[in-house]
Structure 1
């Protein structure tokens, strides 16, 4: 079965959820028109990839719009699911009162698997349509566009919520007896250590592979209390605060938009940072001795910063 037909059947099965999708048929029609117009041209220099009003004005803007809707939908649904899973105590009572907690443990696992399948099949659809673009135009414009959307944070495989769902399934697989009865979505998903350096890896269908380095590039240790900046780079929370020139009391949302990511030097990446709670649980369980030592040192530093913050507040109130 061709992928396009397989994709359409999958999305038809998701109609009740009203999920956004890649308009493969529409995009293929655009490419066919472009190929037809190019074949009729007697001036190769005026055809794709250098000058093409069809692609520049229709194909790429349409695909970008669809990708934005897909990644936005995935992030929102994954965030809500993980919020339900991690909720406890009073917070869980509030969610129950609002009518959000209505799913059992098995239903949460299934929804997580469905979300990841949705992410992967759409990532595959996008990759295939861009390959088709390059094949028709004898260019690398499709791959260039793929690089551009990565810098725009529209690449679904870069989503921090995908990383969280991976950690979520590993945590369930290792700690929940009932989850072992489920069919594991990530058969090849694992936390590995090479020369003491951790990484989260997963081999997925259609040769898609995710390999996330979990070493903080600031302290050069395993990320502790990890956060993902909007550019996708992961750091320890306290290291990210230091890089953003804010205290842990004020938090990353207080960072100046001009502050840059220590790795890619992109601006305005701190306000929308995502706290990776499931990854934090996974690393804490897998690196217990290191976690214990880091917890003690972090506690000392946090107390120091909180004391300095309140001393500064008191001096300001007293006019000193």
Structure 2
């Protein structure tokens, strides 16, 4: 079965959930119309003899409709995925009185098995939409003999509309593994992801791995690029890169007492050196884009540290999977945290006393 038909069946099966999706069929029709117009124009210019020569440059047919439409749809998909994943993780991590409050507000109507199924559905939703985006951009490049589809995907990464870049995908994968290793004994629930696991290479470096249909595999490296060790108390910046919380604070020149929100808007990601993240486009903005190059002019929002996400599920998973390493890091970081807290309160005391 071709992927487009498979994708349409997937979308139809989940229409009741009102999840936004990529209009794959509509985009393919746009490309098909563009191909006919190009071939007709090419044959006319060559006197009826087409040699299939390649061309580069802008395509008025596609750049006015294809990229703006895809940009708007992917923004909607990523936004929906992030909201639903955040809500599910908030529910799972809630404890005590907070969980009862959520239950009374109607946010906790699902049982344990339904929560796992919801997590599985969200991961599937993320992965199949990522594949859809890659395939349609690959088709664009094939029809136009260009690399503009690849360039769009690179810009999508910087704009955070590449769903595999979302920190909530990492958290949902960790959530599933935590539940599989927990008290759940229902084998039907446990076998939601046959290939989703925490793996270690020959050097003991961990990674989240998930094998997908369509011969695609996702691997998320869990090594901090600052200390070159397994991420401890992990945090994801808005550019998608993972670091130890203390390492990230140090790189941003802030203390753990002040936190990453105190980081300068000009502070860069230690890995990709991005200063600011790009805001997602609204429907109105997306409709005004007339070509791919206009993507460069999307307005900036907060710095990469401002919207950093603490990965609590991943923290739980790694603490259970690497207990000896975790204990060692706890002891090491406790000393540093106490030192920074002491210096912070001493500086406040001196300021209060006018010293």
Q: How would you bin the TM-score normalised by the shorter chain?
A: over 0.9
Post-superposition CA distance 1:81-120 (Å, at most 9, x none)? 0110111113213322322111110110010111111111
Aligned partner of residue 141 in structure 2, secondary structure? helix
- Which stretches in structure 2 are left out of the alignment for 5+ residues? 47-53, 276-302
Which of 172, 179, 187 aligns to 2:179? It is: 172
Query: How many angstroms apart in 2 are the aligned matches of 1:203 and 1:23?
Result: 25
Cross-structure match for 1:317: 352
Cross-structure match for 2:82: 75
1:141 matches 2:124: no
Query: How many angstroms apart in 2 are the aligned matches of 1:93 and 1:125?
Result: 39
Bigger Cα displacement from structure 2, 66-75 vs 174-183: 174-183
TM, length-normalised to structure 1? 0.95
Q: How does 1:2-151 map to 2 (within 5 A)?
A: 2-42=2-42, 49-151=56-158
Conserved 8 A contact 2:184-2:190: no
Bigger Cα displacement from structure 2, 33-42 vs 240-249: 33-42
Query: How many angstroms apart in 1 are the aligned matches of 2:3 and 2:218?
Result: 21
Which of 317, 323, 326 aligns to 1:288? It is: 323
Post-superposition CA distance 1:217-261 (Å, at most 9, x none)? 111111100011111110001111111111111111121110001
Bigger Cα displacement from structure 2, 227-236 vs 3-12: 3-12
Conserved 8 A contact 1:123-1:156: yes
Cross-structure match for 1:308: 343
Q: CA deviation at 1:139?
A: 2.0
- Which stretches in structure 1 are left out of the alignment for 5+ residues? none
Larger RCO (alpha carbons 8 Å, 6+ apart): 2
Q: CA deviation at 1:179?
A: 4.5
Query: How many angstroms apart in 2 are the aligned matches of 1:62 and 1:253?
Result: 34
Conserved 8 A contact 1:22-1:66: yes
Aligned partner of residue 41 in structure 1, secondary structure? helix
Conserved 8 A contact 2:239-2:304: yes
TM, length-normalised to structure 2? 0.86
Aligned partner of residue 101 in structure 1, secondary structure? coil
Query: How many angstroms apart in 2 are the aligned matches of 1:286 and 1:26?
Result: 45
Q: How does 1:211-250 map to 2 (within 5 A)?
A: 211-250=219-258
